[in-house]
Amino acid sequence: MAETDHARPEGATGVLVLADGAVIWGRGFGAEGDAVGEVCFHTSMTGYQEIMTDPSFAGQIINFAFPHIGNVGANHEDVEATNPHALGLIVREDVTAPSNFRSIQNFDAWLKSNGRIGLAGVDTRALTRAIRIQGAPNGVIAHNAKGEFDIPALLAKARGWPGLEGMDLAREVSSTQSYKWDDGLWTLGQGYATHSANPAGPHVVAIDYGLKRNILRNLVNAGARVTVVPATATFDEVMAHKPDGVFLSNGPGDPAATGEYAVPVIRELLKIGKPIFGICLGHQLLGLAIGATTYKMHQGHRGANHPVKRSDDGRVEITSMNHGFAVDAETLPANARTTHISLFDGSLAGLELTDAPAFSVQYHPEASPGPQDSHYLFEKFVASLEKAA
């Protein structure tokens, strides 16, 4: 990263301090304070509120490549969890007054009320390019209305943070108790469908490693009844709910660390032939459970424009992705086949077992960037449970 001048420019009320010593000044907004984490970039043009509340972004500071973030304000519907999980965000342009009929709050006020820090006035494309070349760095984002910063202390904090590799964050963002979910998808003028689960539908137990609410809505929309259990739920605790199938959710952190307690449960589920569907971290954990390995990616995949090719018919889905780890396709066992491949870098984007009813994808079908290219996955999973019933 090029900028290393510690002298604060006039008017600077925010700063990003990277572990390599780079100091990037800007205008702070949202909450005051500082937060340390991994700095990653996201290419989506819309959906910043969903992105900020996605539990998969725990421990991360998001650099948005698209310059106009915050311009449609905020509302109570476009959230994927009760609270934001991303630590902060970096944007090119100052947040403007909201221009959207669904807005009920300025994005700056939303960040303040949720204790999240923003930094504007940054050359976000240059920062994106630096991350692409050098990898995702550790850093501290800080906001102080008076422009008072202790740069050496912030630098020490950035260098002292251990990084996401080896870090289990699923336990921190997961629900702490089981609960039922029966809300469906959103429609204009009506909002989210409530109490819409089919009472006679197959029962899906979703293991919450940091799941997004829209995944649950899509499972309900496909005809399932859903019960959510914590990330640390044991095999017996999962089976106590008498599931017809088990869903492995997305989530943050290193899959190998989460796998220490998650993989044994998944292996037991595979032994009894319980149908399994995994997304993102759930995909990685399924890979670990069958003997494959995962690795930390150089820059990760984060955006709503990622093309994925299906191995079966060659069709391409436009997908939403958000992951910094991946399953190594070269380590898949003989009883697993590749179902999807990223057309950006050839990395594994989906797998299916040939001797058990289990499959998974690395991307997020519920995020609907296609907009519905990948909804068939929920229908495929729930339909398989109905046939087995």
* CA dist., res. 157 & res. 374, Å (int): 41
* CA dist., res. 330 & res. 359, Å (int): 17
Which residue is it, tokens 């949720």? 114
**Which two tokens mark 379?**
């229908």
**Which two tokens mark 273?**
């032939």
Active-site annotation holds for 143: no
Backbone CA torsion sign across 371, 374, 376, 378: negative
Contact 62, 90 (CB under 8 A): yes
Backbone CA torsion sign across 376, 378, 379, 380: positive
Q: Could you give the dihedral angle defined by the CA atoms of residues 217, 301, 107 and 33, in that order, rounded to the nearest 10 degrees? A: 120
**Which two tokens mark 274?**
């319980």
Q: Which of 280, 306, 323, 340 is labelled catalytic? A: 280
How long, in residues, is the chain? 389
Q: Which of 80, 317, 352, 366 is labelled catalytic? A: 366
Q: Which helix (H) or strand (E) holds 30?
A: strand 23-30
Contact 38, 137 (CB under 8 A): yes
Between strands 203-208 and 225-230, the pairing is parallel
* CA dist., res. 67 & res. 58, Å (int): 23
Phi first, then psi: give them for residue 234, nearest 5 degrees.
-80, 170
Active-site annotation holds for 366: yes
| Helices marked H in the chain | 48-53, 107-113, 124-134, 151-160, 170-173, 213-221, 235-239, 255-271, 281-289, 376-388
346: left (phi over 0), alpha (psi -120 to 50) or beta: left
Based on C-alpha coordinates, what's the Rg of the chain? Answer: 21
Q: Enumerate the β-bridge partners of residue 142.
A: 15, 34
Active-site annotation holds for 268: no
Give catalytic residues, as residue numbers.
Answer: 280, 364, 366
